[in-house]
């Protein structure tokens, strides 16, 4: 692969991940190999957090969402958006470097401390297909969380300001 191809691939990867991944994680991905990161779909073991902001007061949703995203980036999570008030953060994708239960545990503690009764959290670990579900011309990095609908149902049953661990 020539130099221009490598540069083009790295730009494509940066564009794909800059919406989802902290700048530190993007740098680690770019430095991980000579050719950048491959975004093919593959099964990965990961830690996850699902954050529900649906009951946050309307005037506080943007501020709460900003705090949630900043917190997840601080703990090296990759973001997956489900809706304007539902955020999924995953550890271990695209890089397995940060797939640590301690990262998830610390993020959960910080999220609850910073946001109090404005959010609900589910967290746990699983193996899930992750990658570019959009193809080469429409990049769409996503994951398919097993039992996602059941997890969401449980999330809406929780009291606000609480977290529940879902075992693998």
pLDDT, tens only, 84-133: 788 888 887 766 665 678 888 899 999 999 988 888 898 988 888 877 66
Angle ∠(40,41,45) on CA atoms, nearest 5: 120
Stated pTM of the model: 0.73
* Phi, then psi, of 60 in degrees rounded to 5: -105, -5
- DSSP class of residue 93 equals S
DSSP state at residue 37:
-
Mean of the per-residue pLDDT values for the chain?
77
Instruction: Give the HSE-up count for residue 8: Cα atoms under 13 Å, Cβ half-sphere.
Output: 6
Share of the chain above pLDDT 70, in %: 74
DSSP string, 126-151: EEEEEEESS-SSS--EEE--TTHHHH
Structural fold of domain 37-166: Alpha-Beta Plaits (3.30.70)
Report pLDDT for 24. Answer: 67
């Amino acid at each position: 692969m020539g130099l221009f191809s490598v540069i083009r691939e790295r730009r494509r990867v940066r564009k794909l991940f800059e919406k989802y991944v902290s700048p530190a994680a993007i740098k680690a991905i770019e430095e991980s190999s000579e050719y950048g990161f491959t975004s093919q779909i593959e099964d990965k073991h990961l830690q996850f957090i699902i954050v529900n902001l649906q009951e946050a007061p309307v005037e506080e949703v943007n501020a709460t969402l900003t705090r949630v995203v900043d917190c997840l980036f601080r703990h090296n999570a990759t973001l997956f958006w489900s809706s304007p008030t539902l955020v999924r953060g995953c550890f271990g994708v695209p890089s397995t470097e940060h797939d640590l239960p301690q990262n998830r545990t610390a993020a959960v503690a910080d999220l609850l401390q910073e946001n109090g009764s404005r959010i609900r959290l589910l967290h746990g670990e699983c193996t899930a297909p992750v990658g570019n579900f959009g193809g080469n011309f429409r990049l769409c990095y996503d994951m398919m969380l097993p039992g996602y609908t059941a997890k969401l149902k449980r999330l809406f049953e929780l009291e606000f300001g609480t977290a529940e661990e879902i075992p693998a």
